[in-house]
A = this chain, B = another copy of it.
Amino acid sequence: MKLHVSPDIFPPRGHEAKRLSIVDSAATVFCREGFAGANIDLIAAEAGVSRQTVYNHHGDKEKLFVAVVRDLTERCNAGIFATIATFPDQPRDLEADLIGFAVRLNQNCICNRDGKFLRKLIQTEGERYPELFAEWREQGPGRTWPAIAARFARLAYGGYLTIEDPDVAARQFLGLVNAELQTTFMLGGSPREDEVLQSATNGVRTFLRAFGKRRSAASSEKQSALASA
């Protein structure tokens, strides 16, 4: 009935812009109010479109929710892989470089809008959509954690670290650099920049005390030397 010529670009132009705007507002409202509490009228108003337009684009509330989660997962994954690409494979100053990596990971992937929203949606609605969040698990942690582990394995192979199990080390790295942000994460807040840096610094120091190249008895000052470099 509609597709008269090319089924390719039947949304002319501002069409896609509206779709994006709707998904964005929906993410905000779903996170703030939860799925049940989210109100389509409110989403439409926040997106600057009419309610009918929301239904035209996404069909119903549940389809809209799924679109939101897929969108967030995709963008977050892209961000994480972009950040993993900055992992210090040949560090000049191991402690400083790892702290930098940890801070970038937090600021660009975990504490930013997308990361915060995705985390909250997983926590609040994860049990209601098992297949959707199984997909997230495979595409997210299932692919990013091994990628980080591989980088640590490379550092170990290069003689920078002493690691038995790179997968365990990678998870512990993440646990350590986020150790001081847990309460903030719980309540859905965003830690300040200096809190992120503090947690990362403390976490990396401990990580290196555990996995750093074992300093010989003669050079136990090496760590503090590194710290001030």
Contacts and interface: CB of A to CB of B under 8 A. Distances in A.
Interface string A30-41: 001111110000
Contacts of A207: 210
Interface stretch (A6-14, A20-28, A122-130): A122-130
Contact of A176 (B172, B188, B220): B172
Interface stretch (A57-65, A70-78, A147-155, A179-187): A179-187
Q: Lowest 7 CB-CB distances: which A-B pairs, in order?
A: A217-B217, A36-B37, A175-B179, A209-B210, A175-B175, A210-B210, A34-B34
Interface in A112-132: 119-120, 122-124, 126-127
Contact of A187 (B127, B171, B174): B127
A31 to B, nearest CB: 9
B171 A179 contact: yes
Interface residues of A, number: 42
A16 to B, nearest CB: 31
A9 to B, nearest CB: 38
B202 A180 contact: no
A139 interface: no
Contacts of A35: 34, 37
Interface string A193-228: 000000000110011011100101100100000000
Number of copies: 2
A199 to B, nearest CB: 9
A106 interface: no
A122 to B, nearest CB: 5
A171 to B, nearest CB: 5
Interface residues of chain A: helix, strand, loop or mixed (majority): helix
Given A33-B36, A36-B34, A123-B123, A168 B188 contact: no
A77 to B, nearest CB: 15
Contact of A119 (B37, B176, B186, B188): B186
B202 A168 contact: yes
B176 A141 contact: no
Contacts of A179: 168, 171-172, 174-176
A50 B183 CA distance: 38
